[in-house]
Structure 1
Amino acid sequence: MRTQVGIVGAGPGGLLLAHLLQREGIESIVLETASRAAVEGRVRASVLEYGTARLLVQAGVGARMEREALVQHGIVLRFGGVPHRINFAELVDGRGVVVWGQHEVVKDLIAARLDAGGDIRFDVSDVALADIESKRPSIRFRHGGENHVVECDVIAGCDGFHGISRGAIPGGALQVFERLYPFAWLGIMADAPPPADELVYAHHPSGFALASMRSQRISRLYIQVSPGEDLAYWSDARIWDELDQRLVGPDGGFTLAEGPVLQRGITLLRSFVVEPMRYGRLFLVGDSAHVVPPTGAKGMNLAIADAAVLARGLVALFKTGDTALVDHYSEVCLRRVWAAEHFSWWMTRLLHRGPFDTPFDQRRQLAELDRLVSSPAAAAALAEAYVGRPLEHA
């Protein structure tokens, strides 16, 4: 089997890369260990930066998003029992963000890929990379009860933090930067309307809380818990009580409608980057190279930005032989990655209560939050980072 680009992983980064290359007549194969149903059912990130949403539309996979997604021009910071709105439209030239789940992006990309006759293999196993330093790297895998080898010009590792791609790079070739946070998020998806029209980030003495949404009738809600928390000890009633305390409080301000819990889970928070994002003919994309805490809503956006940068480089490589863009792939992507890492770390530090925080730390957080809502310059900096820099400046 032979292709130009072998893509490991059918997440938003891998699928978008395949789609962008296919539009330019460049062949690729996408290999995914999970089933199509599992891939399309992964409910993860939901906030698209302004530039990310524009890219999906320009790439021809944003029509359903334009019809059904929620466009938002601000967020709410709740602290001291009072909500404060950060108005993006006034601060960053009318730009906003789009609430559209990762699984919805993936559904549209898979449909576009299959409609165009592209090759996606779901339910593959025993995936392994070989000869990634050579001009003819290959991917070995098992599918349909048979062993296969696909020879490539380039491999894109888009298989996430726990995938095999990063591990195929020899030890010592990558520099690792990592921070683990001393708290986690307990998240639920509920069949209940969200408490506000925009995302609500709450700073509370008991810990952080976030009110998000998947639609106008489905809420996505989070509370800060300890990393070792046992989900079995959190009944629906206890979760709703804690959400009510942190998001609503005695002074009200929001209506927290309760409803059936459709999904629940605990997410550990981590910051992680490897440098460089390339080794030989293997290019790392998205979570295989970097992870951000979800507080800043950057994870899916970074994967899509990586894919856009790599697609431009590969188009130049295959069509003209120009290697300049692929040679600078890591450098270009890491500028955006580290900006997002900083923003996500800052938002996390600002809003969470650490296990060793003192009253001084809590007062410092409140002072910083007060500055954000009272200083147009501070609010504009937050809005600019949240909405995201243009992808053409990746």
Structure 2
Amino acid sequence: MNHPVRTRVAVVGAGPAGLLLARLLHLSGIDCVVLESRDRAYVEQRQRAGILEQGTVDTLRRAGAAARLEQQGMPHDGIELRFGGNRHRIDFPALADGCRVWVYAQTEVVKDLIALQLEDGAPLYFDAPVHAVQGADTDTCVVHYTHEGQTRALSCDYVIGCDGFHGIVRRAVPAQATQVHERTYPYSWLGILADAPPAYEELIYAHSERGFALASMRSPSVSRLYLQVPNGEHPAAWSERRIWDELDLRLGADTTWRLNRGPITAKSVLPMRSWVTEPMRHGRILLAGDAAHIVPPTGAKGLNLATSDVTVLAEALIRLYDSGSAELLDAYSDTCLRRVWRAEHFSYFMTTTLHTAPGQSSFDTRLQLSQLDRIATSPHAASELAANYTGTVPHDSGRNS
């Protein structure tokens, strides 16, 4: 295998952000190389997000990566809120200018993009961990990595960090050159995959005195469900029967409706945090996706923020190489951070409104129920939630109230 020693753009990380960026650059004739530390099987099996905004779907279509999405993705026109014995549906098309969301697992997006990349895209190397990134403040960056037992060096104009919070690229930026903002939440999610047909057509977000619950799905035959649990909880503490019984209680099962039960095929605990580093650029290093920001999953924003980042970045790099103008590239961080902070606020709002904090007072609970009731009774509040959830709210606009 011949390894290039020079490319315009080095993309570190073969998650959805890195793969989509590489695809967009390839379609515009900009050469790049993608380096991924893990093997292909691991990358294609990582369980992550499953909700795609309208803008994400539109970008995948433009990239020629939506064939299976069109066949297997499940368009959703709303979500249901359950609280205080009430059920209320948020109608996305009616409240958000006809927009909707799609249920299509991140694992499937990654599989689609990998297949395209290997078929006709730029070089993509698995099992290729990056050890160092040098030259961010010079005219040329050098990425040092290992592949097939050999240490190699790749020179490039720009390095794009799509390798997540723990990745090497973020750590190559001097700490004094960034400002970090962070919030850790006092609860986690126990998430399961189950071979059970969903007993609901759209996602259910449930506020309960027993804690939050979310009923989602991955396909017409696979349910994806979540329970709020204490931080530090171990999945082994929850038997299958205990999980299903607790889900029924929190989701308000009754004689007319309850979950379909089936074998649980995956079970894990997910901590909840909000985190942003800014700026998202340092010299010739640019960060995207989880390398730059993390949101709690309550608002379904993680994958969609990553997609938005690389869409903006691809446009900026295309402009640079087509016309020599660095205007969009210089504005990359500011452009993305407007959307990032809107999504951070929405995710915080959904998380703190729907979860029960340890030691929460009855006053705080009543405030949560009042907020949920306002969404159910105020077209303005419902429209605000729908616009944020579908990603159609202006990136620098107002507050979620």
1:138 aligned to which of 139, 142, 145: 142
Residue of 233, 238, 245 corresponding to 1:241? 245
| 1:3 alignment partner, SS class | strand
Match 1:201 to one of 205, 209, 214: 205
Question: What residue in structure 2 maps to residue 170 of structure 1?
Answer: 174
Q: 2-side partners of 1:82 and 1:117: how far apart? A: 50
User: Offset of 1:126 from its aligned partner?
Assistant: 4.8
From the superposition, tell whether residues 81 and 356 of structure 1 become closer, same or farther in structure 2 (CA, over 3 Å).
same
Structure 1 CA distance, aligned partners of 2:121 and 2:203? 38
Q: Residue 50 of structure 2 aligns with which residue? A: 46
Cross-structure match for 2:305: 302
Q: Any conservation in 2 of the 1:298–1:344 contact (CA below 8 Å)?
A: yes
Which of these residues, 232, 235, 243, is aligned with residue 231 of structure 1? 235
Listed as ranges, the matches of 1:17-56 within 5 Å are 17-56=21-60
Q: Distance in 2 between matches of 1:227 and 1:220?
A: 20
Counterpart of 2:217 in structure 1 is 213
Q: Counterpart of 1:292 in structure 2: which amino acid?
A: V
- Choose which of 346, 354, 374 in structure 1 pairs with 2:349: 346
What is the match of residue 383 of structure 2? 380
Matched, 1:10 2:27: no
Q: How has the CA–CA distance of structure 1 residues 126 and 114 changed in structure 2, closer, same or farther, with 3 Å as cutoff?
A: closer
What is the alpha-carbon distance in structure 1 between the residues aligned to residue 296 and residue 395 of structure 2?
24
- The answer for unaligned runs of 5 or more in structure 1 is none
Q: Look up the equivalent residue of 1:383 and give its one-letter code.
A: A
Contact 1:51 1:390 in 2 (8 A): no
Partner of 2:281: 278
Out of 355, 358, 361, which is 1:358 matched to?
361
- Indicate how the Cα distance of structure 1 residues 163 and 260 shifts in structure 2: closer, same or farther if over 3 A, else same: same
For 1:225, give the aligned amino acid: V
Read off the aligned partner of 1:43 and give its amino acid letter.
Answer: Q
TM normalised by structure 2 equals: 0.96
Are 2:190 and 1:186 aligned? Answer: yes
- Residue aligning to 2:107: 103
**2:261 is aligned with 1:261:** no
> 1:81 maps to which residue?
85
- AA matched with 2:122: G
Do structure 1's residue 67 and structure 2's residue 68 form an aligned pair?
no
**Aligned-residue offset at 1:393:** 9.7
Q: Distance in 2 between matches of 1:30 and 1:187?
A: 31
Write the distance in 2 (CA, Å) between the matches of 1:254 and 1:123. 47
Corresponding residue to 1:121 among 91, 114, 125? 125
Q: What's the CA shift string for 1:239-271, capped at 9, x where partnerless? A: 11111110134x455320110111110000000
Deviations 1:279-302 (A, max 9, x none): 010000000000000000000000
**Fraction of identical pairs, as percent:** 52
Once the 2 structures are TM-superposed, how far is the Cα of residue 80 of structure 1 from its aligned partner? 1.4
Give me the whole-angstrom Cα distance separating, in 1, the residues matched to 2:8 and 2:141: 10
- Secondary structure of 1:123's aligned partner: coil
Preserved CA contact (<8 Å) 2:130 2:168: no
Which stretch of structure 1 is more off in the superposition, 74-83 or 336-345?
74-83
Other structure's SS at 1:172 match: helix
TM-score normalized with structure 1 length: 0.97
CA distance in 2, matches of 1:164, 1:253: 52
Spell out, residue by residue over 1:192-249, the C-alpha distance to the aligned partner (whole angstroms, 9 max, x if none): 0112100000000010000000011100000000111122211111111111110134
Are residues 1:328 and 2:328 paired? no
Q: Which runs of 4+ in 1 moved over 2 A?
A: 251-255, 389-394
State the 1:2 CA deviation. 0.5
Q: Distance in 2 between matches of 1:314 and 1:391?
A: 23
